[in-house]
Amino acid sequence: MLEALEPIEQQVASVIESYGQDLIGKMLEIVQETRRFLIITGGGVLLLQKPLREMLDAAAVTAEHDYFLVNRDLASGLNSVGTLFAVLFMAAKK
């Protein structure tokens, strides 16, 4: 028997507010200290898109010149490719 689903928007917003800002702060250090091109991907990008964009704007970096923020359409495929390479590298170490 299926149970009724409960909305979790409030819980997600609470986690984003508490842990998301800490993560954004850690990322700011990386963005400011590196001269490398950054590709920012993962589920957090989708949930933290607004504060991420604000942080990147404040860091005075340019999209597609200094970084690429992966959108929803590409995230799943890129995560799959990353997982494949992680498995291949782990297998090669054995």
Q: For residue range 23-80, what is the model confidence (pLDDT) as tens digits?
A: 888 888 888 887 888 888 877 787 888 888 999 999 889 998 998 888 888 888 888 8
84 part of a folded domain: yes
What number of H helices and E strands is found in the chain?
5, 2
Which band of pLDDT confidence, cut at 50, 70 and 90, is reported for residue 1? low
Cα dist from 12 to 18, 22, 23, 29, 89, whole Å: 10, 15, 15, 25, 34
- Tell me the C-alpha distance between 16 and 14, whole Å: 5
Q: Is residue 77 part of a domain?
A: yes
Residue-wise DSSP of 4-39: PP---HHHHHHHIIIIIHHHHHHHHHHHHH--S-EE
Query: Does a structural domain hold residue 24?
Result: yes
Q: What's the total number of domains in the chain? A: 1
Structural domain includes residue 16: yes
Kindly state whether residue 2 falls inside one of the protein's structural domains: no
The answer to whether position 3 is within a domain reads no
Residue 58 in domain: yes
SS3 call for 78: helix
**Residue numbers of the domain that contains 27:** 12-93
CB 61 within 8 A of CB 67: yes
Residue 39 is assigned to a structural domain of this protein: yes
Name the pTM for this structure.
0.64
